[in-house]
């Protein structure tokens, strides 16, 4: 057993929101550098506990230990980064058109933020939201996925240990349909930030839209890697393996499609299949394991249903496609790395997010054709191109309709110091993580101040 948490009810959400309100005045007026010191301490505690938190992630969520440690590292980085923002949080001062008048923009908190987070990055994603929300002066009610409540609880405990005042960060547990939706519609909440599936995000957008509540959503992806005929093929295969089967394909950035130039299509498929067939499934705590289980029975069944859909649609299954029964695997929700070839762009397996270890390989005539195929899905989160040609990479960079584009690297592994997020069904609203236009723009509002110290009525150009 990994741990036990309470199952929160509506009264718990009420209390959490109330506590967040009570703490808001104190926290809003705490100088941002001081808020940053607490975040810095939290990053230090996370760092000290990295090993045990990484192991906890593997035990609770299933990802292999190296990835669990990476997940914690992302939270550590985010903590230090946002702690530093406490000494910046900069706005602008610009000259007024009138004498004896000045003007500036300030970042101010939004209020009480409801944060709803998924299970696939059980510490990193809460950290992407909690740290920037807190540094900007918001108070928070966090509702983590009910599949990974223990990781989130540890994360919150660390922030409390770092010195966060009571009520600033509140935690509720429970299923999204009950607790998450109640939180999103709660009258005491000012804004919602959500990461998860498109269906849930869309439902929450509907709830928030109807009551004029700001919501930021990060949802699914149907990300693709383009492999051009001049690509370094071994590198492209490694990228497709890492993007397709890393985290057992359970990333919103996962490379679930590989679009390959016809000239190297066969060669790529052979190498990709051979490499994927060597991946070792099993317990993520064991060093030799490459791929862990999928999160739960519902996902397990959904992924296997998609395999059937792919077969019926006429795609050719060349690897996997079934539950792994070998050794200890029979005891868990393990699915073999699965590759479909001869996939056409409109097939459901090439359009819908599967969120498992299933990759569709699609043939393209040329660069233009490949880009059109990549763009022709409802999603727009991440994409990649493998090519040695600087011109092809420039065209891909310009024309791929995704929030993130990788050149000669896989679709996963975004760093926290630039904005993270997608377009179309991948996200509606502003961005996460760092950089200009990233998390600070999500978790703060601009307030603009004009000050006239002339002592007389002055009118701006437009009013004269």
Residues at the contact surface with ligand UN1, assessed by CB under 6 A: 120-121, 195, 251-253, 412-414
Nearest to 306 by CA among 343, 278, 261, 265: 343
Helix ranges (DSSP H) in 92-232: 124-135, 149-161, 181-184, 198-210
Give the nearest distance from C-beta 393 to ligand UN1 in angstroms: 20
| Residue carrying structure tokens 């699915």 | 335
CB atoms within 10 A of CB 355: 24
Cβ closest to ligand UN1, residue 253 vs residue 442: 253
Give the nearest distance from C-beta 251 to ligand UN1 in angstroms: 4
State residue 212 phi and psi, 5-degree precision.
55, 50
CB atoms within 10 A of CB 445: 15
Give the nearest distance from C-beta 384 to ligand UN1 in angstroms: 11
| Residue carrying structure tokens 């993130």 | 404
Cβ closest to ligand UN1, residue 112 vs residue 252: 252
Give the nearest distance from C-beta 148 to ligand UN1 in angstroms: 13
Helix axes 32-48, 124-135, angle to 10 degrees: 160
Helix ranges (DSSP H) in 142-264: 149-161, 181-184, 198-210, 233-245
Q: Which residues contact 324 (CB under 8 A, 6 or more apart)?
A: 281, 330, 334, 335, 336
Cβ closest to ligand UN1, residue 251 vs residue 424: 251
CA trace torsion 135, 137, 143, 147 (10° rounding): 0
Handedness of CA 348, 351, 355, 359 (dihedral sign): positive
Q: Which residues contact 199 (CB under 8 A, 6 or more apart)?
A: none
Give the nearest distance from C-beta 71 to ligand UN1 in angstroms: 9
Give the nearest distance from C-beta 383 to ligand UN1 in angstroms: 12
Token readout for 380 is 């727009």
Distances in Å between the alpha carbon of 78 and those of 67, 88, 425?
Answer: 16, 15, 26
Cβ closest to ligand UN1, residue 145 vs residue 195: 195
Give the nearest distance from C-beta 196 to ligand UN1 in angstroms: 8
- d(CA 215, CA 218) in angstroms, rounded, equals 10
Cβ atoms 79, 40 nearer than 8 A: yes
Cβ closest to ligand UN1, residue 115 vs residue 347: 115
Give the nearest distance from C-beta 243 to ligand UN1 in angstroms: 9
Which residues have a catalytic role annotated?
A: 218, 252
Q: What is the DSSP pairing of strand 419-420 with strand 316-319?
A: unpaired
Cβ closest to ligand UN1, residue 189 vs residue 252: 252
In DSSP notation, 291-360 reads B---S-HHHHHHHHHHHHHHHHHTPEEEE--SB--SGGGGGTT-B--EEEEEE-TTSHHHHS---SSEEE
Cβ closest to ligand UN1, residue 182 vs residue 428: 428
Cβ closest to ligand UN1, residue 229 vs residue 353: 353
């Amino acid at each position: 057993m990994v741990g036990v948490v309470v199952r929160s009810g509506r009264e718990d959400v009420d209390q959490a929101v109330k506590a967040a309100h009570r703490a808001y005045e104190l926290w809003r007026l705490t100088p941002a550098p001081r808020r940053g010191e607490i975040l810095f301490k939290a990053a230090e505690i996370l760092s000290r506990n990295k090993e045990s938190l990484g192991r906890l992630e593997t035990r609770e969520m299933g990802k292999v230990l190296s990835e669990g440690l990476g997940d914690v590292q992302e939270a550590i980085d985010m903590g230090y980064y946002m702690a530093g923002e406490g000494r910046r949080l900069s706005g602008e001062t610009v000259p007024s058109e009138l004498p004896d008048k000045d003007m500036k923009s300030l970042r101010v908190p939004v209020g009480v933020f409801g944060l709803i987070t998924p299970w696939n990055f059980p510490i990193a994603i809460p950290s992407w939201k909690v740290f920037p929300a807190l540094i900007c002066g918001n108070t928070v009610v966090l509702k983590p996925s009910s599949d990974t409540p223990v990781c989130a609880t540890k994360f919150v405990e660390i922030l409390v240990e770092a010195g966060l005042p009571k009520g600033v960060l509140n935690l509720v547990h429970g299923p999204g349909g009950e607790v998450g939706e109640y939180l999103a519609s709660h009258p005491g909440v000012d804004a919602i930030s959500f990461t998860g599936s498109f269906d849930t995000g869309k439902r929450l957008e509907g709830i928030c839209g109807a009551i004029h509540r700001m919501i930021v959503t990060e949802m699914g992806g149907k990300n693709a890697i383009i492999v051009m005929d001049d690509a370094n093929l071994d590198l492209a295969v490694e990228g497709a393996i890492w993007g397709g089967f890393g985290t057992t394909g359970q990333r919103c950035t996962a490379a679930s499609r590989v679009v390959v130039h016809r000239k190297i299509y066969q060669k790529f498929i052979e190498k990709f299949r051979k490499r994927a067939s060597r991946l070792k499934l099993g317990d993520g705590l064991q060093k030799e394991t490459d791929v862990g289980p999928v999160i739960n029975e519902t996902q397990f069944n959904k992924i296997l249903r998609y395999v059937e859909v792919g077969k019926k649609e006429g795609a050719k299954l060349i690897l996997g496609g079934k539950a792994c029964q070998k050794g200890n695997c029979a005891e868990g929700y393990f699915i073999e790395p699965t590759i479909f070839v001869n996939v056409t762009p409109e097939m459901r397996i090439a359009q819908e997010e599967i969120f498992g270890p299933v990759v569709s390989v699609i043939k393209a005539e040329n660069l233009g054709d490949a880009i059109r195929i990549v763009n022709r899905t409802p999603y727009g989160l991440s994409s990649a191109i493998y090519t040695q040609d600087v011109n092809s990479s420039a065209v891909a960079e310009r024309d791929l309709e995704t929030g993130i584009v990788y050149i000669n690297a896989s679709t996963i592994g975004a760093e926290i110091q630039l904005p993270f997020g997608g377009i179309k069904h991948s996200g509606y609203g502003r961005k996460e993580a760092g950089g200009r236009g990233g998390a600070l723009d999500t978790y703060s509002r601009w307030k603009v101040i004009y000050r006239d110290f002339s002592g007389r009525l002055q009118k701006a150009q437009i009013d004269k």
